[in-house]
Amino acid sequence: MKTHKVLASPIKTDRLNLRKFQTGDENSLFTEYFGDWEASKYLQRMPHKNISQTKNMLENWCGVNWEDPDKNFAWIVSDKKTDLALGIVLLFNKESCGEIHFGLGKKFQGQEFMQESLKAVITYLKNNSTLERIETFCNAEHSRSKSTLMKSGFTQTGILKNWARFPLIGEDTRDCIHYYIEIN
Protein backbone atom coordinates (compact mmCIF):
# COMPACT_ATOMS: atom_id res chain seq x y z
CA MET A 1 0.00 0.00 0.00
CA LYS A 2 1.55 3.27 -1.12
CA THR A 3 1.31 6.21 1.26
CA HIS A 4 0.93 9.63 -0.31
CA LYS A 5 2.55 12.12 1.98
CA VAL A 6 1.53 15.73 2.24
CA LEU A 7 3.66 17.88 4.47
CA ALA A 8 1.87 20.81 6.07
CA SER A 9 3.13 24.23 5.11
CA PRO A 10 1.85 27.80 5.45
CA ILE A 11 -0.29 29.16 2.60
CA LYS A 12 -0.98 32.83 1.90
CA THR A 13 -3.88 34.39 0.00
CA ASP A 14 -4.82 38.02 -0.60
CA ARG A 15 -6.66 38.28 2.73
CA LEU A 16 -5.66 35.19 4.69
CA ASN A 17 -2.84 33.15 6.17
CA LEU A 18 -3.33 29.41 6.52
CA ARG A 19 -0.81 28.42 9.15
CA LYS A 20 0.20 26.46 12.24
CA PHE A 21 -1.40 26.96 15.63
CA GLN A 22 -0.23 29.92 17.71
CA THR A 23 -1.07 30.38 21.37
CA GLY A 24 -4.15 32.59 21.50
CA ASP A 25 -5.87 31.04 18.45
CA GLU A 26 -8.00 29.00 20.82
CA ASN A 27 -9.70 32.15 22.14
CA SER A 28 -11.49 33.28 18.99
CA LEU A 29 -11.97 29.73 17.67
CA PHE A 30 -13.60 28.53 20.89
CA THR A 31 -15.87 31.59 21.12
CA GLU A 32 -16.86 31.76 17.47
CA TYR A 33 -16.72 28.12 16.33
CA PHE A 34 -15.71 25.14 18.47
CA GLY A 35 -17.70 26.15 21.55
CA ASP A 36 -20.65 27.75 19.75
CA TRP A 37 -23.82 25.65 19.45
CA GLU A 38 -25.08 27.37 16.30
CA ALA A 39 -21.72 27.08 14.51
CA SER A 40 -21.50 23.40 15.56
CA LYS A 41 -24.94 22.41 14.28
CA TYR A 42 -23.64 20.50 11.24
CA LEU A 43 -20.62 18.91 12.91
CA GLN A 44 -20.26 15.26 13.86
CA ARG A 45 -19.36 16.25 17.40
CA MET A 46 -20.75 18.25 20.25
CA PRO A 47 -19.46 21.79 20.83
CA HIS A 48 -16.32 22.00 22.94
CA LYS A 49 -17.05 22.46 26.64
CA ASN A 50 -14.13 24.74 27.41
CA ILE A 51 -11.26 26.64 25.86
CA SER A 52 -8.74 24.00 27.01
CA GLN A 53 -10.48 21.38 24.86
CA THR A 54 -10.15 23.68 21.84
CA LYS A 55 -6.51 24.45 22.62
CA ASN A 56 -5.61 20.75 22.94
CA MET A 57 -7.27 19.93 19.63
CA LEU A 58 -5.55 22.82 17.84
CA GLU A 59 -2.14 22.02 19.36
CA ASN A 60 -2.39 18.51 17.89
CA TRP A 61 -4.04 19.07 14.51
CA CYS A 62 -2.47 22.44 13.71
CA GLY A 63 0.81 21.97 15.55
CA VAL A 64 2.31 18.58 16.39
CA ASN A 65 0.80 16.90 13.31
CA TRP A 66 2.56 19.42 11.04
CA GLU A 67 5.86 17.71 11.87
CA ASP A 68 4.89 14.25 10.54
CA PRO A 69 3.95 13.81 6.86
CA ASP A 70 2.04 10.62 7.69
CA LYS A 71 -0.37 12.46 10.00
CA ASN A 72 -3.68 14.09 9.22
CA PHE A 73 -3.38 17.80 9.94
CA ALA A 74 -5.16 21.15 9.80
CA TRP A 75 -4.48 24.75 8.93
CA ILE A 76 -5.60 27.67 11.08
CA VAL A 77 -7.31 30.20 8.81
CA SER A 78 -6.30 33.66 10.04
CA ASP A 79 -6.85 37.23 8.92
CA LYS A 80 -3.71 38.49 7.16
CA LYS A 81 -3.91 41.98 8.69
CA THR A 82 -4.74 41.12 12.31
CA ASP A 83 -3.63 37.44 12.48
CA LEU A 84 -6.95 36.67 14.24
CA ALA A 85 -7.92 32.99 13.89
CA LEU A 86 -11.17 32.77 11.89
CA GLY A 87 -11.53 29.06 11.15
CA ILE A 88 -9.87 25.79 10.29
CA VAL A 89 -9.29 23.49 7.30
CA LEU A 90 -8.59 19.81 8.09
CA LEU A 91 -6.92 17.34 5.72
CA PHE A 92 -7.12 13.56 6.10
CA ASN A 93 -4.62 11.59 3.99
CA LYS A 94 -6.19 8.47 2.47
CA GLU A 95 -3.94 6.68 -0.04
CA SER A 96 -4.36 8.57 -3.35
CA CYS A 97 -7.18 10.71 -2.00
CA GLY A 98 -7.38 13.43 0.61
CA GLU A 99 -10.52 14.19 2.58
CA ILE A 100 -11.06 17.80 3.53
CA HIS A 101 -13.35 19.38 6.11
CA PHE A 102 -13.61 22.96 7.26
CA GLY A 103 -15.23 25.34 9.68
CA LEU A 104 -15.47 29.07 10.15
CA GLY A 105 -16.50 31.20 13.10
CA LYS A 106 -20.06 32.45 12.75
CA LYS A 107 -19.20 36.15 12.61
CA PHE A 108 -16.74 35.48 9.76
CA GLN A 109 -19.22 33.64 7.56
CA GLY A 110 -20.68 35.15 4.40
CA GLN A 111 -17.41 36.91 3.44
CA GLU A 112 -16.02 34.12 1.21
CA PHE A 113 -13.10 33.45 3.57
CA MET A 114 -13.60 29.70 3.35
CA GLN A 115 -13.97 29.70 -0.41
CA GLU A 116 -10.66 31.60 -0.62
CA SER A 117 -9.07 29.13 1.82
CA LEU A 118 -10.26 26.03 -0.04
CA LYS A 119 -9.06 27.33 -3.41
CA ALA A 120 -5.63 28.03 -1.88
CA VAL A 121 -5.48 24.55 -0.31
CA ILE A 122 -6.44 22.93 -3.63
CA THR A 123 -3.67 24.84 -5.42
CA TYR A 124 -1.18 23.92 -2.69
CA LEU A 125 -2.09 20.21 -2.92
CA LYS A 126 -1.87 20.25 -6.72
CA ASN A 127 1.69 21.58 -6.46
CA ASN A 128 2.88 19.77 -3.34
CA SER A 129 1.32 16.33 -3.15
CA THR A 130 0.80 13.13 -5.06
CA LEU A 131 -2.87 13.03 -4.12
CA GLU A 132 -5.11 12.47 -7.12
CA ARG A 133 -8.25 14.02 -5.73
CA ILE A 134 -9.87 15.55 -2.68
CA GLU A 135 -13.22 14.40 -1.36
CA THR A 136 -15.61 15.64 1.27
CA PHE A 137 -19.21 15.47 2.35
CA CYS A 138 -21.66 17.68 4.17
CA ASN A 139 -25.13 17.36 5.64
CA ALA A 140 -27.65 17.49 2.78
CA GLU A 141 -29.40 20.41 4.52
CA HIS A 142 -26.27 22.54 5.03
CA SER A 143 -26.76 25.11 2.28
CA ARG A 144 -23.70 27.24 3.17
CA SER A 145 -21.29 24.31 2.94
CA LYS A 146 -22.84 23.12 -0.31
CA SER A 147 -22.48 26.59 -1.83
CA THR A 148 -18.89 27.01 -0.60
CA LEU A 149 -17.86 23.65 -2.03
CA MET A 150 -19.41 24.32 -5.43
CA LYS A 151 -17.88 27.82 -5.64
CA SER A 152 -14.50 26.33 -4.70
CA GLY A 153 -14.55 23.96 -7.69
CA PHE A 154 -15.87 20.74 -6.14
CA THR A 155 -18.29 18.52 -8.07
CA GLN A 156 -21.31 16.98 -6.38
CA THR A 157 -21.35 13.23 -7.01
CA GLY A 158 -24.43 12.06 -5.16
CA ILE A 159 -26.33 11.48 -1.97
CA LEU A 160 -24.87 9.34 0.81
CA LYS A 161 -27.95 7.87 2.47
CA ASN A 162 -27.96 7.78 6.28
CA TRP A 163 -24.25 8.60 6.20
CA ALA A 164 -23.41 10.58 9.33
CA ARG A 165 -24.75 11.56 12.71
CA PHE A 166 -24.87 15.22 13.73
CA PRO A 167 -25.56 15.23 17.49
CA LEU A 168 -27.00 18.75 17.66
CA ILE A 169 -29.61 17.81 15.06
CA GLY A 170 -30.53 14.43 16.53
CA GLU A 171 -29.50 10.85 17.15
CA ASP A 172 -30.39 9.47 13.71
CA THR A 173 -27.91 9.27 10.86
CA ARG A 174 -28.59 11.84 8.17
CA ASP A 175 -28.23 12.05 4.43
CA CYS A 176 -25.09 13.79 3.20
CA ILE A 177 -23.87 15.01 -0.16
CA HIS A 178 -20.55 13.73 -1.50
CA TYR A 179 -18.18 16.06 -3.37
CA TYR A 180 -14.80 15.67 -5.01
CA ILE A 181 -12.25 17.57 -7.07
CA GLU A 182 -9.47 16.09 -9.23
CA ILE A 183 -6.10 17.65 -8.44
CA ASN A 184 -3.43 15.50 -10.21
Confidence of residue 4 (pLDDT cuts 50, 70, 90): low
Structural domain for 114, as ranges:
11-132
Q: Using DSSP, state whether 74 is helix, strand or coil.
A: strand
β-partners of residue 101 are 90
> How far is the CA of 5 from the CAs of 39, 69, 92, in angstroms?
31, 5, 11
Question: Is 75 a member of any domain?
Answer: yes
pTM beyond 0.85: yes
Could you tell me the pLDDT band of residue 1, with boundaries at 50, 70 and 90? very low
Whether 3 is covered by a domain: the verdict is: no
Mean pLDDT rounded to a whole number for the chain: 94
pLDDT reading at 182 higher than 60:
yes
pLDDT at 5: 74
Domain count, the chain: 1
- We report the CATH number of the domain holding residue 67 as 3.40.630.30
Asked whether residue 2 is domain-assigned, the answer is no
In a domain, 184, yes or no: no
Model pLDDT, residue 130: 87
- Per residue in 20-74, pLDDT tens? 999 999 999 999 999 999 999 999 999 999 999 999 999 999 999 998 887 899 9
**Model pLDDT, residue 94:** 83
Give a yes or no: residue 45 inside a domain. Answer: yes
Name all contacts of 64-73 with Cβ < 8 Å and 24+ positions apart: 65/8, 66/7, 66/8, 66/20, 69/5, 69/6, 69/7, 70/3, 70/5, 73/8
Q: What is the mean pLDDT of residues 120-134?
A: 94
DSSP 8-state secondary structure symbol assigned to residue 50: S
The confidence score (pLDDT) of residue 2 equals 44
Position 3 pLDDT exceeds 70: no
